[in-house]
Amino acid sequence: CRLVVLISGRGSNMQTIVNTVRTQGLPAEVCAVIANKANASGLEWAHAHGIQAKLVAHRDYATRTEFDQALAQAIDAYRPDYVLLAGFMRVLTPEFVEHFNGRLLNIHPSLLPAFPGLHTHQQALATGVQWHGCTVHFVTPVLDHGPIVAQGAVPVLADDTPDTLAERVLGVEHHLYAQVVRWLAEGRVSLDAMQRVHVRGVA
Ligand code: GRF
């Protein structure tokens, strides 16, 4: 199972994915890590760990469409079975999403459909929810909206700040994406005609 992971910064989710594939001997390979920003420290980490690390900088392109086209071409070169967005902070065009339809996943730091968009932890605290978490979903043209593959929940504590909550969620993100990558590598994830996700062998 050929994977390409897209990042914009630290890439802690990407690092977890790489470590999971390697330490658990999964039938999968992270063929490349691609970032849209030159200062994404995850690129250095990937390179240092023997993974092709590539920059496709959105600032180098005049329009969103041109960037997305260049990004799609860079990804296609690796012939991925799945493209995993991990801390990738760009809204992708419908054309890009369609090109990778059914093969493009993202992790969002909230229990979707609650709190789409940015600053999810501030949203959770402002709303007073008692449970928060993260969601791995297939990407569709509607932002933070696609078919849900897996979710992980964390309690919101009385003295939580956005940072303490973000840290608790990030720990679950790592476990969640590792679980989903195992399922993808084992070929157990499918989307039915109603765009519902089925994971073979999982309730
Ligand atoms: C984190 O806030 C995480 O919740 C979200 O993207 C941000 C960076 O994650 N998915 P990463 O460390 O770059 O994977």
Residue 203 pLDDT exceeds 80 = no
Stretch 70-84: mean pLDDT: 98
11 annotated to bind ligand: yes
For 21-76, the pLDDT digits (tens) are: 999 999 999 999 999 999 999 999 999 999 999 999 999 999 999 999 999 999 99
The predicted complex's ipTM stands at 0.95
Ligand 1 mutation target, pool 173, 180, 181, most atoms within 8 A of CB: 173
Q: Is the CB of 176 under 6 A from ligand 1?
A: no
User: What is the reported pLDDT for 103?
Assistant: 97
Nearest of 40, 32, 49, 152 to residue 88 by alpha carbon: 40
Whose alpha carbon is nearest atom 9 of ligand 1? 87
User: What is the reported pLDDT for 16?
Assistant: 98
Nearest of 171, 172, 189 to residue 180 by alpha carbon: 189
For 153-184, the pLDDT digits (tens) are: 999 999 999 999 999 999 999 999 999 999 99
2 annotated to bind ligand: no
Residue 86 CA, closest ligand 1 atom number: 14
86 vs 80: CA distance, rounded Å: 15
Q: Is the CB of 13 under 6 A from ligand 1?
A: yes
Residue 193 pLDDT exceeds 80 = yes
Is the CA virtual torsion 56, 58, 62, 63 positive or negative? Answer: positive
Q: Is the CB of 93 under 6 A from ligand 1?
A: no
Q: Is the CB of 15 under 6 A from ligand 1?
A: no
Q: Is the CB of 36 under 6 A from ligand 1?
A: no
**Starting at the edge strand that comes first in sequence, how are the strands of the sheet with 104-108 ordered?**
52-55, 29-35, 2-7, 82-85, 104-108, 131-138, 148-155
Query: Is the distance from CB of 30 to CB of 51 less than 8 angstroms?
Result: yes
Residue 84 CA, ligand 1 centroid: distance in Å = 13
- What percent of the chain shows pLDDT beyond 90? 96
Residue 148 pLDDT exceeds 90 = yes
166 vs 189: CA distance, rounded Å: 28
Q: Is the CB of 18 under 6 A from ligand 1?
A: no
Predicted TM-score (pTM) above 0.95: yes
Residue positions annotated with a catalytic role: 108
Whose alpha carbon is nearest atom 12 of ligand 1? 12
25 annotated to bind ligand: no
Q: What is the mean pLDDT of the chain?
A: 97
Whose alpha carbon is nearest atom 6 of ligand 1? 87
13 annotated to bind ligand: yes
